[in-house]
Structures are given as C-alpha cells and as structure tokens.
Amino acid sequence: MSINCSLWQDNSMSVKHFAFVKFSEATEQCFLLFTLILFMFLVSLTGNALIVLAIWTNPALHTPMYFFLANLSLLEIGYTCSTIPKMLQNLVSEARGISREGCATQMFFFTLFGISECCLLAAMAFDRYMAICSPLHYATLMSRGVCVHLAMVSWGVGCIVGLGQTNCIFSLDFCGPCEIDHFFCDLLPILALACGDTSHNEAAVFIAAILCISSPFLLIIASYGRILAAVLVMPSPEGCQKALSTCSSHLLVVTLFYGSGSVTYLRPKASHSPGVDKLLALFYTVVTSMLNPIIYSLRNKEVKTALRRTLGKKKILTLSSYAFSIP
C-alpha cells in the first residue's frame, strides 16, 4: 500500500518522515516472522548478557582474550537493540513510520556497533597471534592498558565512521518516495531514496566499507597466517591442537560476520535486490548475534564453567531471597 509522503514534508519539500514497507499482506507470515525474530532476539540478549556477567564475576577470566569477548558481547547487545525493537514493531503494527531524526539515530548506532565489531574482531585475532607466536612476552605485550586502548580504538573508529556516514547520507534531500523497503534504516536503502546525484555519497559509503571492513579482515588473515605457520612447526600434536582450539570459535564468528557483511556492502550495486538485502539483514543483525554466545559457550570449557558458576550463584541467591521473604 502506497504511503502519502506529502503529509510528511515541510515547505522545503524535503521528506521529514519515512515509513517502512510492510513485510507481507498476510498477517500469518508477519506474525510468524515476528515470533521467530523475537525468539532469536531474546536468546541473543540473554546469551551475550550472561557472557558479560560470567567474565565480570569470574577472576579466572580476567585475561585479554575474555576482556575482548566481553566487549564483543556488549557490541552485540547494542547492535541488536539498535535495530530489532523497531523491526518487531513494524511487523505487527500499522504504525511503521519513523522520523528523519529517528532514522539517522538508528543508522548511527547500527554503524557504530557494526564497524566497532569489525575492528574488535581484528584486535581479538591479534591477541591470539601474540598468545601463540610470542607466549613468553604475551603478558607484557598484551597488558591491561594495551587491551583497553585496543578496545577504545575499536569503539572510537566505530563512532567516527558512524557520524561520518550518517552525516554524509542525511545531508542529502529526500523528495519522495519515503518508503524504506528494508527492515531498518540501513545505509544503502536510505541512500536510494535521496534526490539528485548521489554518486559521490555512494562512493564515500563504498570507500568506508572497503577501509573499515576489508582492512580489519586483512589484519585477521595476516594474524592467522602467522598463527598457522607457528602451529605447523610445533613439535607436539597436543600443543598444535590446543593452539588451534583457542582460535576456532573466533574464526567461526569472523566467518559468519564478515561473510554476510561483505556480501551486503561490497557486492556490485546492480546485484542488489530488496528481497536478498532483507534476508542478509536478518542474518547479520539477528542470526549472527544469537549464534556468537552459543559458539563461544559450547566450544570453550572455561566459559562453560564460568557460566555454570554464575548461574549457580544466581540460583542460590534467588532461593535465599525467596526463603527470607517467607514470613
């Protein structure tokens, strides 16, 4: 159903409000997708929050690798919370509008968390490289101060790129149509609604994607290339297996995140289609965020042990509180 944009324009004829295209006219399909996304959203929030809590409350996990993992979980929480609540509302409500300022805010936070995650995954790969290739100097080279600085740089780069990309796109005029054929205010679907020549803005988005997605990915490849070379010359199979096991979870997360992100933002413009873009958006915003805590908890004995302890403490505290509340 077409939405009358003229109701949402001021005297300058620039669109001040947008509306998301309805996913389907079939109510059953919308409700089914709503239920599925809500389930994955709750699993993602619970899993990532538990990992942060487990790392925070267990001194044995106060190491660089788990410090970065806690930051990754915080990024995943922000990543999903910036997009999924509005996505869920659009699936079951007729009020699918969003203001220009609200759309810009959503785009900023989505870009911030996404780019920060790219950089943080590179920092995590560097940490594994230092742990395996320079074990004697690892504690000195990856001190708490160094880890904090790497995390701050990751968040800082995300913030700068988020501000730059959002300003680049929303400095344009939007004359209509105002319908966003997507689940949230992503860069390319909003840019497609702008008036006039947007080639320079598209180039800026593409260059930022190349620098902020490809550059960290190349650092990850280089780190794991050195790790593989070091592992191949290890004398004992046990040491080789242990070294690789510490990297397997991270490699799987990198594959999921970069695979979907690269296909979305680095493929040619002519190959973009709303249906494929929506499917990819669901994957890299919902599915990967849900799978990350599962991957790290199932493939890491220390995390599983810490989660059991954390959940055990919470259960004891809950039972104690209940017991004291009984008159």
Phi, psi of 72 (to 5 degrees): -60, -45
Q: Quick one: average pLDDT of 271-276? A: 67
Q: What is the pLDDT of residues 211-267, one digit of tens each?
A: 888 889 899 999 999 888 888 877 777 767 777 777 888 888 888 888 777 777 666
In sequence order, which residues have a C-beta less than 8 Å from that of residue 157 and are 6 or more positions away?
115, 116, 119, 212
Q: What is the pTM of this model?
A: 0.84
| 202 close to 269: Cβ distance less than 8 angstroms | yes
Over 50: is that where the pLDDT of 191 sits?
A: yes
- Beta-strand runs (E) in 164-313: 179-180
My answer on whether omega of the bond before 177 falls inside 30° of 0, hence cis, is yes
How does DSSP assign 187-222, residue by residue?
HHHHHTT--S--HHHHHHHHHHHIIIIIHHHHHHHH
Please state, in angstroms and rounded to a whole number, the distance separating the CA atoms of residues 277 and 207: 20
Please state, in angstroms and rounded to a whole number, the distance separating the CA atoms of residues 44 and 322: 28
The CATH number assigned to the domain with range 25-305 reads 1.20.1070.10
Q: Which of 21-25, 164-168, 238-242, 265-269 has the highest mean pLDDT?
A: 164-168
Average of per-residue pLDDT values in the chain: 81
Angstrom CA distances, 178 to 140, 175, 279, 282, stand at: 54, 8, 21, 22
Residue 107: what residue type? M
Which letter does DSSP use for residue 20 in this model?
E
Boundaries of every domain in the chain: 25-305
Model pLDDT, residue 11: 44
| 63 close to 57: Cβ distance less than 8 angstroms | no
Model pLDDT, residue 123: 94
Q: What is the pLDDT of residues 79-129, one digit of tens each?
A: 899 989 988 888 887 777 888 899 999 999 999 999 999 999 999 999 999
Phi, psi of 235 (to 5 degrees): -70, -35
